[in-house]
């Protein structure tokens, strides 16, 4: 007996009196997309975090956190994260990594930066809005490939803490983070962190390797002993690897017709398994399709 809800089978709205339109699965909707509806991930803004269990790929968000993203790229190129470790795994919250060796050189990077919790809503900042109300923000949607929110009164925009989003650990002061410790959300979206942390990107592949890491039993899910930590072999910028060692990914553009079709299909699931279509869709439940580029 299988719970088939995750099949993501989706149907078009049937016209009254007409034969029902054929139900299309999410896979079928995506498969019918046009090549121009996809954007290639920028290899200069893509991190590979290699664990013994496989590779985690993170797309960086320079449009929202330019200083932190540049600093993280500098840290990666200085080899700062080689031999780093997962030092925290808190259930239904975050998995966090850093460099246990306090003497490790930062290279030309800085340890702390001015916070980038939000940015100005400028005319050139894209925002593909979702139609349904959000508990936390007046406007939510997708911007530059990331889940984002806006406040038309303050004219600010910010990224939001959905599953797999990557942020910058910090101490109590707002400007005490710089990217030497990063975390990824591994449970229910902790939206109370929005505008309290600099978000720098999102895990686009391999999140299932981070989410299964054994929870720490210390305060906040930190490990009590260094031996419990999961080693990180190395972190690299995709562009710094020869093409043969890269994974060429592309993301469905959120301003595309196919994405809009997907959103509507997820708001109202019409496949036979669903008995009550929700009629709504939360930003953190909205799929952001990623696929390996077909050369």
Neighbours of 236 (CB within 10 A): 21
Helix (H, G, I), strand (E, B) or coil at 38: strand
CB contact at 8 A, 50 and 81? no
Among the listed residues 94, 53, 98, 47, the one whose alpha carbon sits nearest the alpha carbon of residue 74: 47
The answer to whether 25 contacts a second copy (rule: CB under 8 A) is no
Which of 42, 171, 245, 255 contacts a second copy by CB under 8 A? Answer: 171
* Binding of residue 59 to a second copy (CB under 8 A): no
Count of residues that bind a second copy according to CB under 8 A:
69
262 binds a second copy (CB under 8 A): no
* Alpha helical stretches, state H, 32-113: 66-77
Q: Looking at beta carbons only, is 144 or 176 nearer to a second copy?
A: 176
Chain residues 189-218 in contact with a second copy, contact rule CB under 8 A: 189-197, 207-208, 211-215
Strand order in 38-40's β-sheet? 38-40, 249-252, 290-292
Report 129-148 residues binding a second copy (CB under 8 A): 132-136
Query: Whose Cβ is closer to a second copy: residue 32's or residue 220's?
Result: 220
Please name which of 76, 95, 78 lies closest in space to residue 86, comparing C-alpha atoms.
Answer: 95
Binding positions for a second copy, rule: CB under 8 A: 1-7, 90-94, 96, 98, 117, 132-136, 162-164, 167, 169-172, 174, 176-177, 180-181, 183, 186-197, 207-208, 211-215, 220-222, 266, 269, 272-276, 278, 280-282, 284-285
């Amino acid at each position: 007996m299988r719970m088939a809800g995750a099949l993501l089978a989706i149907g078009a709205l049937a016209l009254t009196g007409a034969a029902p339109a054929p139900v299309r699965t999410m896979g079928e909707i995506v498969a019918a997309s046009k090549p121009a509806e996809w954007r290639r991930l920028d290899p200069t803004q893509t991190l590979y975090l290699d664990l013994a269990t496989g590779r985690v790929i993170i797309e960086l968000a320079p449009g929202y956190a330019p200083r932190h993203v540049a600093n993280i790229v500098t840290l990666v190129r200085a080899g700062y994260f080689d031999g780093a470790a997962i030092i925290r795994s808190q259930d239904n919250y975050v998995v966090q990594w850093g460099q246990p060796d306090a003497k490790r050189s930062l290279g030309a990077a800085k340890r702390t930066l001015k916070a980038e919790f939000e940015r100005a809503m400028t005319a050139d900042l894209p925002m593909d809005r979702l139609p349904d109300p959000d508990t936390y923000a007046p406007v939510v949607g997708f911007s530059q490939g990331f889940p984002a929110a806006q406040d038309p009164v303050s004219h600010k925009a910010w990224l939001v803490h959905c599953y797999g989003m990557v942020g910058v650990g910090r101490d109590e002061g707002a400007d005490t983070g710089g990217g030497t410790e990063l975390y990824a959300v591994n449970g229910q979206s902790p939206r109370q962190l929005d505008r309290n942390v600099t978000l720098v990107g999102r895990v686009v592949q391999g999140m299932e390797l981070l989410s299964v890491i054994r929870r720490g039993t210390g305060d906040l899910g930190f490990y009590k002993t260094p031996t419990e930590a999961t080693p990180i072999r190395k972190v690299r910028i995709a562009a710094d690897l020869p093409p043969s060692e890269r994974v060429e990914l592309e993301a469905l553009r959120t301003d595309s017709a196919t994405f809009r079709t997907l959103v509507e299909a997820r708001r109202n699931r019409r496949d036979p398994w669903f008995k009550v279509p929700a009629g709504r869709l939360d930003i953190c439940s909205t799929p952001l399709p990623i696929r390996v580029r077909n050369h």
